[in-house]
């Protein structure tokens, strides 16, 4: 199987409860664009979706415990097992991304602040249990 030039070498594949609702949230909160969506045979759960956001892409699907349950949503597991870090260009982008996500329904976990590693950093938890971190350098980066 060959991969095209537009497929990133690493992609997060998010498992959620309420795939269609999650897609709508990511579109509102993060400006995501759904580039592919395939529903399960039950017509209720998302079997697979691709979302373009922040210059990258994540994949998404609903829980399917009938297939073994090795991948479950953070809501089922009782919390996220990883955070998704988004590297922004400017400190103000960090603040704006967090504000937009919270306005759309995310929970503020850590307000945007200047941190010891020289970045503006903060994080939110989306309504589906995934944690999103936003990080931008305080000083302009050399080209």
pTM of the model: 0.91
HSE-up (13 A, CA, CB side) for residue 12: 19
Instruction: Residue 105: give the domain boundaries.
Output: 82-143
Number of domains within the chain: 2
Predicted confidence band of residue 123 (pLDDT cuts 50, 70, 90)? very high
Which of 12, 43, 70 is a domain's end point?
70
Shared domain for 54 and 108, answered yes or no, is: no
- Is the Cα dihedral 36, 127, 16, 6 positive or negative? positive
For residue 14, give the CATH number of its domain.
Answer: 3.30.720.120
Between CA 48 and CA 63 the distance in angstroms is 11
Between CA 86 and CA 98 the distance in angstroms is 11
3-class DSSP assignment, residue 78: coil
Q: What is the pLDDT of residues 27-77, one digit of tens each?
A: 999 999 999 999 999 999 999 999 999 999 999 999 999 988 789 999 999
Q: What is the pLDDT of residues 75-110, one digit of tens each?
A: 999 999 999 999 999 999 999 999 999 999 999 999
């Amino acid at each position: 199987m060959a991969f095209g030039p537009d497929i990133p070498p690493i992609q997060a594949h998010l498992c959620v409860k309420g795939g269609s609702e999650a897609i709508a949230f990511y579109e509102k909160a993060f400006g995501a664009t759904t580039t592919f969506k395939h529903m399960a045979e039950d017509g209720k759960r998302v079997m697979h979706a691709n979302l373009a956001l922040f210059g990258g892409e994540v994949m998404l699907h609903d829980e399917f415990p009938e297939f073994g349950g090795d991948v479950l949503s953070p809501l089922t597991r009782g919390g996220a097992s990883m955070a998704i870090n988004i590297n922004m260009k400017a400190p103000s982008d960090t603040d704006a991304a967090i504000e937009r996500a919270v306005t759309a329904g995310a929970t503020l976990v850590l307000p945007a602040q200047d941190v010891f590693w020289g970045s503006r950093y903060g994080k939110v938890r989306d309504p589906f249990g995934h944690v999103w971190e936003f990080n931008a350098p305080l000083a302009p980066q050399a080209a």
